[in-house]
Structure 1
Amino acid sequence: MDASLALDLPSVTVASFDQHDPAFIANPYPAFAALRAEGEVHWHEGMGVAVAVSHAAASAVLRHRSLGRIWSDAEPLDLFGSFNLLHRNSMLENEPPTHTRLRRLVAAAFGRGHVERLRPWITDLADRLVDDLAAAIRDDGQADLLARVAAPLPVEVIAELLGVPAGDRPLLQPWSNAIVKMYEYDLAEDKRAAAERAATEFVAYLRGLVALRRASPGDDLVSDLVAVTDSDGAKLTEDELVSTAVLLLMAGHEATVNVIGNGVHALMGHPDEWRRLVADPGLLPTAVEELIRYDSPLQLFERTATEPVTIAGYRVEPGEKIAALLGAAARDPLVFRDPDTFDLSRDPNPHLGFGMGIHYCLGAPLARIEVRAALSALVRKLPGAERAAEPRRRAEFVIRGLHDLPLTAPRR
């Protein structure tokens, strides 16, 4: 057969996975390895999308300019007004020129020193949260890392960044948790309804916060987003501003809580690496990257073709979707030496955890600061930490994380 013709033939899936299977959710990486061995791109019947499983193919999906983030409203439209509003106006769900304008405005507001302003505050917050965790372990023999450190840390950081009053901050995490469930496949109707309720409440809350900051600006990102203008004098609309704030919370919270949870779970399962980090905190920068790579908090990211595209021999027609399977790309042996080995000194480490191309995560520097602060505090304050019990894993596939991670620190 002519090799040029073979490029347009679909990949044949010999091995696949059931994204609802608890055994797969517990450890998807053997299934990913089997897929990579059969080819770089496969059609997944259960999800109705092609998945790129090699690092090269996943990178191509994320970078190709004819594969975009093309938003399709959740239906029926009359039941998902707030959820759709948030995504229609999000820079994550738009392509140029809308994406270019939104990202430039948001980056300009971010560029006013907010991340560096928060760095010492984040370090202090992580120390206080780990102090509370250590006290609970002393009192009760064990305590949950997720509830006491991993979950509250990113919510507090994003709330501080946005200028959300302290009394309102407990509202944010439940809203985020409910909304992101909509990114899973075959979601139950009650959870879809819960996502819309959370979006409606969040939109109403943020409209009030925006109105407050218009009248009385502060030293926070919402105030700067209200004030920022593009070179032609254009500003963010209120819907775009609200959508940006929600994106920052959902992306910032869900990614960071699960990097910390999944990562510390991995560290506790590899005690030699944990002791290595305790002995040498200079490993923290590379350790953060390895935590992101080894058990990716975001397993899959979709793109839609705007014209015919061929990725690793798989042809995607206009309107069809293809997904970068980030968890599979992160274990590609053609890119990562001993990819199933957890190595805190791994360098280079070209994981795709923050994406690639024009949609590369704007909050990546902030996420790295948060994860490093949490690890540093744990190393210094709980060097003898161990798992007190096996954690309960969340049932979702796309957003990969834990419900809890009980830790103990036996007295030696």
Structure 2
Amino acid sequence: MFDPSDPEFLTDPYPAFAELRAKAPVHRHDGLGLAIAVAHPAASAVLRHRSLGRIWRDATPAEQFVSFNLLHRNSLLENEPPAHTRLRRLVSSAFARGHVERLRPRVEEIAGRLVGRLAERVRDEGTADFLAEVAQPLPVEVIAELLGVPEADRSRLVPWSNQIVKMYEYGLPEDKRVAAETAAGEFVAYLRELSAERAANPGDDLISDLVRVRDDNNGRLSDDELVATAVLLLMAGHEATVNVLGNGLRALLDRRDQWALLPSHLDSAVEEAIRFDSPLQLFERTATEDVEIAGFRVEEGQKIAALLGAAARDPEVFAEPDTFDVTRSPNPHLGFGAGIHFCLGAPLARVEIAAAFRALTTLPELELAGEPPRRPEFVMRGYQELLVTGVR
């Protein structure tokens, strides 16, 4: 069984996943303390089965993680019906007020500006970090626009998000756990101030719409749920998009034939980038009653995870799964989840990734400047930096 802390495994986990898939669709991983579904049908079943839910258990000791637990206890991602049904309906009603289409031109503008800045940096210095110049600032600027975060405050969002999501890794050191709680506390306090300001001075942003939903529904969306929703949108939207862009650009630049096809296959290239090197490798569920997944018994209270990276390379579903093919269609990857927890921000994420790829097509001679270092984490898969060169 693979070791999620092994640097060699983290560099390329897919051969290990293939070995597991060849033996059985579901395995017990004692190191992770749960079962893992490695075949696509089994992983899909885990995500869709109504007796496998997102059952939140507070980080402990609970008195030391008050804000971290508040954010997750009140998140629609960590709740099941009827709470999830209520939250998703209320949040969707705010999210569906045309925000994605409202932001589309702005996303294109931001992506073009950031790629232009990347090109200037390469011309001036010979190389530049695609993650720092494009992949990281793009989703932050977009989500900040979506939420209505003032420009002066936007630099605080990424450090908060980065520290909080570290808690999703296994075997996290205590100092990182403390940092996550500190970041959560600061984020909660900031969003309470911002929502109070929007209540007094509403705008056309999502925070204003969530405040309206809260105030127009007799408290059916609480203050804590409003804050948790805003934080979820940032963390999910930022972390995943950064890694899709970084992993996707690496795959494209390693394969010049695919890079050449990018301008005419933008939409399918977005889906293939999500599938080929999954930015989120693992997603947990807890059994609310005894369940059987692909012949593997999961008893009530036990956890099972969909191993998304393994499911995305299943040869029974994807022809030549280890080949990066921007023309691949259909592409039934599970990168945005499935079932009632399907990613609410998927339409916006697709717009962001497509905009970045479209802007990059203006740099046809772009290339990697050496082997990029991987982040030393398993669940959130990405690079520490991605240096590029080749801009004239």
- 1:354 pairs, out of 325, 336, 345, with 336
Does 2:100 correspond to 1:115?
Answer: yes
Could you tell me which runs of 5 or more consecutive residues in structure 1 were left unpaired when the two chains were aligned.
Answer: 1-15
Counterparts in 2 of 1:261-340, with a 5 A limit? 261-277=246-262, 281-340=263-322
1:236 equivalent in alignment to 2:221 = yes
Runs of 4+ residues over 3 Å off in structure 1: 229-235
1:387 aligns with 2:368: yes
Which of 181, 196, 209 is the aligned partner of 2:194?
209
Q: Distance in 2 between matches of 1:275 and 1:161?
A: 33
Query: Using the alignment, how far apart are the partners of 1:122 and 1:58 within structure 2?
Result: 32
Corresponding position: 1:403 with 2:384? yes
Alignment partner of 1:51: what SS? Answer: strand
Partner Cα distance (2:138, 2:251) in 1? 19
Look up the match of 1:57: 42
Task: Deviation per CA, 1:171-214: give whole Å up to 9, x if none.
Answer: 00000000000000111101001100000000010010011011
Shift of 1:233: 4.6
Counterpart residue number, 2:231: 246
Q: Give the equivalent residue in structure 2 for 1:378.
A: 360
Which amino acid is 2:305 matched to?
Answer: A
Rounded Cα–Cα distance in structure 1 between residues aligned with 2:297 and 2:273: 33
Q: Distance in 2 between matches of 1:26 and 1:88?
A: 34
Query: Aligned match of 2:20 in 28, 32, 35?
Result: 35
2:214–2:222 CA contact under 8 A, matched in 1? no
Structure 2: how far apart are the matches of 1:377 and 1:370?
A: 11
- What SS is found at the alignment partner of 1:391? coil
Distance 1:110 1:62, change over 3 A: same
Q: Determine the C-alpha separation between the residues in 1 that align with 2:118 and 2:161.
A: 24
* Matched-pair contact (CA < 8 Å) for 1:105–1:230: no
Alpha-carbon distance in structure 1 between the residues aligned to 2:62 and 2:358:
46
Shift of 1:392: 1.4
Percent identity at matched positions? 69
SS in 1 for 2:257: helix
Distance 2:171 2:221 in 1: 34
Give the distance between the partners of 2:214 and 2:10, measured in 1 at CA.
44
**Secondary structure class of the residue paired with 1:228:** helix
Pair 1:150–1:43, CA change in 2 (3 A): same
Equivalence for 1:11: none
**Range with bigger deviation, 221-230 or 76-85:** 221-230
Q: Please give the alpha-carbon distance, in whole angstroms, between the structure 2 residues aligned to 1:145 and 1:90.
A: 32
What's 1:8 paired with?
none
Tell me how far apart the structure 1 counterparts of residues 275 and 254 of structure 2 sit (CA, whole Å): 16
Give the Cα separation in 2 of the matches to 1:142 and 1:215: 46
Q: Distance in 1 between matches of 2:355 and 2:217?
A: 39
**What number of residue pairs does the alignment pair up?**
392
Q: In the alignment, which of 163, 168, 173 is matched to residue 178 of structure 1?
A: 163
Residue 363 of structure 1 deviates from its aligned partner by 0.2
Q: Let me know the Cα RMSD of the aligned residues.
A: 1.1
Pairs within 5 Å for 1:189-200: 189-200=174-185
User: Does the 8 A contact of 1:255 with 1:298 survive in 2?
Assistant: yes
TM-score, normalisation: structure 1:
0.94
Aligned to 1:260: 245
The code of the aligned residue for 1:407 comes to V
- Mark the CA change 1:402 to 1:255 in structure 2 (over 3 Å): closer, same or farther: same
Partner deviation per Cα, 1:144-194 (whole Å, 9 max, x = no partner): 000000000000111010000000000000000000000001111010011
Can you list the C-alpha shifts for 1:43-100, whole angstroms capped at 9, x where unaligned? 0011101000000000000000000000000000111000000000000000000000
Letter in 2 for 1:398: V
Read off the aligned partner of 1:402 and give its amino acid letter: Y
SS in 1 for 2:163: helix
Q: Distance in 1 between matches of 2:99 and 2:218?
A: 23
